[in-house]
Amino acid sequence: MTARFPSRNPSLPPTSPSDDEVEPQDVVLGLWANASSFALVRDGARIIVGRDGDACDLFVDDPSVSQQHARIDVQGHKRTIVDLGSTNGTLVRGRRLEPHVPVPLEEGQFVQVGRATVVLQLGWTANLFPLGRRVVPKPASGDQPAVGPNASIQLMIEKVARTNLSVLIRGETGAGKEITAHAIHVASGRRGRYVALNCAALDGPLLLSEIFGHEKGAFTGAVATKPGLLETADDGTGVLDEVGDAGPQVQSALLRFMEDGTFMRVGSTQIRQSRARIIAATHRDLLAMVKAGTFREDLYYRLRGCIIHVPPLRERVDEILPLALRFLAKTGRRLKLSRAAERALLAHPWPGNVRELKQTINRAAAFAGGPIVTPDDLDLQVIERFSEEERQRVTKMFFDCQFNRTLTAARLGMARGTLNARLKAFGLIRKDSK
């Protein structure tokens, strides 16, 4: 994350010694007017540079700098900078960068961002920084959390990770709640395992068994003793996804563990202990459920030691294309998005959030006929209500064109992907048809 400090001489950060000596860190400095800022980075970091104090990792408060001006990517020894479509441009070696085209960034190389300067310095020591510095979290498994450059979420992850607080993550289905939970586990440095369980996928008795474990013979089918999530995640993190779907019996048993860290396996009277940290996630409004009497109030306040709200993808438009490109790279095919495809991705409402975006990109990569992904390859679909007149119009043209979708789309004046969505909605072609 970003640490900021005022400096009378923008070329010199504070140099007072610190007792808190650590290994040298890499740092990106921002210098402008009579002030400066910096961001400590680690391998895998993506540093957003700009004036948006909430969304940027390196805050540069100069009027010539765009809200999100540029991004610095660090992958091992490879360091690049890319202009994010800024108003006043980004200059490297006196040459203005093409928007969204990354170029190599060398140590000590001065980059002009508007009228401000950004420079990468390697191996700076802790006594160059003031107390309260923040570090950009290292991504889990070499990947950035799906919540992307949302600085407020990353700041919350950083703050809560090193505590023992329980965490309640709220957000729509597919928005990235479990990825956020995993990022907290990784940043916490806990020695135990990360174990996630979907409460909505199991009924009451089975969910009890999966969380607390069971003894042999505890119920029909319990042919052997089995430890549950709390034992498996001891000294680690246990994630209860869709906790709002847990029934009364599960809620009561979970409350006891949240109060004193003890539990009993199903079919046992032996009291056990676990140091698992509980992170609960839900798309439901638990407080409304408390008022309706369907969720225990005491459990709700035990779970909400800290609340993190993951906004839906439609409210994080600046993350759509970076996420799409990341998913595209993971497909293993050397593909690029056409400008029309980028516009289609940005215009789509993404009711399925990040999960829908990932599936869309994977499908497009599988069916793309060339190196460029087009809107037809994306085949974006929105559930719509169509009038009977529209149904008849499309159906008649489809038959008149002898089921030729390209010709039908051309005569109707719509994109082939839009036509496909209507044909599927009207039952004229298979749902899995391309």
pLDDT tens digit string along 154-209? Answer: 767 877 888 888 999 988 888 889 889 999 999 898 999 999 999 998 888 899 99
Residue 243 and residue 281 in contact, taking contact as beta carbons nearer than 8 Å: yes
Name the residue type at position 395.
T
3-state secondary structure at position 227 = coil
Which one has a higher pLDDT value, 199 or 93? 199
Query: What is the average pLDDT across 115-134?
Result: 50
Which one has a higher pLDDT value, 119 or 6? 119
- Helix segments in 241-352, DSSP class H: 248-260, 286-292, 297-303, 317-330, 339-347
Residue 7 and residue 30 in contact, taking contact as beta carbons nearer than 8 Å: no
Return mean pLDDT, the chain.
80
Q: What is the pLDDT of residues 231-271, one digit of tens each?
A: 999 999 999 999 999 999 999 999 999 999 999 999 999 99
Q: pTM of this prediction?
A: 0.55
Confidence of residue 25 (pLDDT cuts 50, 70, 90): low
Beta strands in 158-294 (DSSP E): 167-170, 194-198, 237-241, 262-263, 272-273, 277-282
Is pLDDT of 10 > 50? no
Cα distance between residue 170 and residue 155, in whole Å: 16
Q: What is the pLDDT of residues 34-71, one digit of tens each?
A: 566 778 777 888 899 999 878 888 888 888 999 999 99
Query: What is the average pLDDT across 367-383?
Result: 84
Percent of the chain with pLDDT strictly greater than 70:
81
Which one has a higher pLDDT value, 83 or 153? 83
Residue with tokens 């490297």: 92
Cα distance between residue 103 and residue 93, in whole Å: 11
Q: What is the pLDDT of residue 305?
A: 82
Q: What is the pLDDT of residue 414?
A: 76
Residue 215 and residue 267 in contact, taking contact as beta carbons nearer than 8 Å: yes
Cα distance between residue 370 and residue 375, in whole Å: 13
Percent of the chain with pLDDT strictly greater than 90:
37
Q: What is the pLDDT of residue 328?
A: 92
Cα distance between residue 184 and residue 127, in whole Å: 28
Residue 176 and residue 310 in contact, taking contact as beta carbons nearer than 8 Å: yes
Which one has a higher pLDDT value, 139 or 60? 60
Confidence of residue 131 (pLDDT cuts 50, 70, 90): very low
Q: What is the pLDDT of residue 11?
A: 30
Is pLDDT of 135 > 50? no
Q: What is the pLDDT of residue 29?
A: 67
Report DSSP letters for 68-123, one per residue.
Answer: T-EEEEEETTEEEEEE-S-SS-EEETTEEPPTT--EE--TT-EEEETTEEEEEEEE
Q: How many residues does the chain have?
A: 434
- In terms of Cβ atoms closer than 10 Å to its own Cβ (0-12, 13-18, 19+), residue 315 is exposed
3-state secondary structure at position 178 = helix
Q: What is the pLDDT of residue 42?
A: 77
Q: Tell me whether strands 116-124 and 262-263 are parallel, antiparallel or unpaired.
A: unpaired
Name the residue type at position 320.
I
Q: What is the pLDDT of residues 318-350, one digit of tens each?
A: 788 988 998 999 898 889 999 999 988 988 888
Is pLDDT of 427 > 90? no
